[in-house]
Amino acid sequence: AGPARPARLGLCAACHGETGIAQMAGAPNLAGQRLDYLRAALAQYRDGRRNVAVMRAAIGPVSDAELDALARWYSVQSPAAAQAQP
Amino acid sequence: AGPARPARLGLCAACHGETGIAQMAGAPNLAGQRLDYLRAALAQYRDGRRNVAVMRAAIGPVSDAELDALARWYSVQSPAAAQAQP
């Protein structure tokens, strides 16, 4: 079994989908992305090195532990379904 | 048939793999990533909004047309194989 569904998943899923298939133009697929990369990207959105207002706002109230649970969730989702989407 | 193999593919493949499955810690998988996101990310690496020296150096000598060919290449690769890699 993979990781438990993170409590804060809904916050991410609006744009990235529950399984990491993007639901919105401009948002990347996250399914199956490397965990180290997801962790680094989240740290960069948090501290502003990646200056993206929507991401900074979204993760602002999320604890580091919750954020890591979300990164782990997406890293183990199957990326296969991504191919069907433009 | 998908897009022709881009002339500059080797520049990206050292870290991201020829088919977008990352070969190096810290590098993201690109296979099947959304084209709009890849284009935006490349523009950000180019102009420094994403301040990542290795990416800025790598794409410095690559023309916009070549860069777009690379984004299109990776966006149509199958992401399925990514799942097998940590």
Domain map (residue ranges) of chain B: 9-78
Q: Indicate the range of B1-5, B24-28, B36-40 predicted with least confidence.
A: B1-5
Domain A9-79 falls under CATH 2.40.170.20: no
Average pLDDT by stretches of 10, chain A with 86 residues: 88 96 95 97 95 92 96 94 52
Please tell me the predicted confidence (pLDDT) of residue B1.
Answer: 65
A70 reaches B (C-beta below 8 A): no
Whether residues A79 and B31 touch (CB distance < 8 A) is answered with yes
Please tell me the predicted confidence (pLDDT) of residue A67.
Answer: 96
Domain B9-78 falls under CATH 1.10.10.60: no
A2 reaches B (C-beta below 8 A): no
Q: How many of the other CB atoms lie within 10 Å of CB of A39?
A: 15
A24 reaches B (C-beta below 8 A): no
Which residues, 6 or more positions from B80, have their beta carbon under 8 angstroms from its beta carbon?
A78, A79, A80, A83
Mean pLDDT of chain B: 91
pLDDT in tens, B51-81: 999 999 999 999 999 999 999 999 999 987 6
Q: Closest Cα to residue A46, out of A27, A26, A66?
A: A66
Q: What span, in angstroms and rounded, lies between the C-alpha atoms of A44 and A32?
A: 20
Please tell me the predicted confidence (pLDDT) of residue A86.
Answer: 47
Q: How far is CA B31 from CA A22, A44, B10, B19, B81, in A?
A: 14, 22, 15, 6, 9
